[in-house]
Amino acid sequence: MYQIMQGDCLEQMKSIPDGSVNLILTDPPYAIMTNKQSVWRSGMKPINRFEEWDNMTNAQYYRLMYEFGKETFRLATETATIYIFCACEIFMLVRMALEKAGWYYRMPNYWHKTNPAPVWNGRRPQASVETICMATRTKKNTWNVQNGGLCHNLFEYPIVSSSIRIHPSQKPVNLMGELILRSSNPGDTVLDPFMGSASTGVAALQNGRKFIGIEKNDDYFASAKKRLGETMVQPQLV
């Protein structure tokens, strides 16, 4: 079962009852794609470094995360966890915003991309890691990990292939599924307020969870609606 809403997540979340969501798993803007000058490569498609939805200052980003943190704290159950994907360079802004909003900070998790984009300019490593900020509403969060609860905070998955990618920052379904299995139970409600193409929703439905998604962009909302409808008929393993 799933419910999707179109609009600004800070407004749409007001309709979700207090203490009704078991897991928040989301991939908000990173506030890093602000350079309007593309990287041009000989004979190849240019690399876009600007997205309107990502164009904000660090101060604007912090305010967004703080308001977002307050609203998700209200609607979370006592055993809820929140996972927020973020760029490594702004991780502390996410942590500070969540803590100020009332969340109990746990630790960073890391997605290691096994096929990161190559470096075209500059003498530096490939950007192969994204941070996932983890916090819980209380210290008694749901934790479904065997081996006495021991596991690593590193997840290794490839970037979604460009041939099937809908959203520029689309996350692997199996990665979202692993986080969902760790921090929720069958029948629980998973919320993604920055739904994008609904990878979180697909993973939630595939693993027997309910899903609530919110997306502002018309095109991504339409794609997410189609993708979730197809998942209800035949699960996608992307």
CATH entry, 2-233, from 3.40.50.1580, 3.40.50.300, 3.40.50.150, 2.70.98.10? 3.40.50.150
CB atoms within 10 A of CB 234: 6
**201-202-206-211 Cα dihedral, nearest 10 degrees:** 20
Which 8-state DSSP code applies to residue 189?
E
pLDDT, tens only, 100-124: 999 999 999 999 999 988 877 678 8
Q: Tokens in use for 172?
A: 């692997």
Q: Are the C-beta atoms of 68 and 113 separated by less than 8 Å?
A: no
pTM of the model: 0.88
Q: Are the C-beta atoms of 192 and 200 separated by less than 8 Å?
A: yes
Domain ranges of the chain: 2-233
pLDDT, tens only, 120-179: 767 889 889 999 999 999 999 999 998 888 999 999 999 998 888 888 878 999 999 999
pLDDT, tens only, 20-69: 999 999 999 877 544 444 444 455 454 444 355 456 788 889 999 999 99
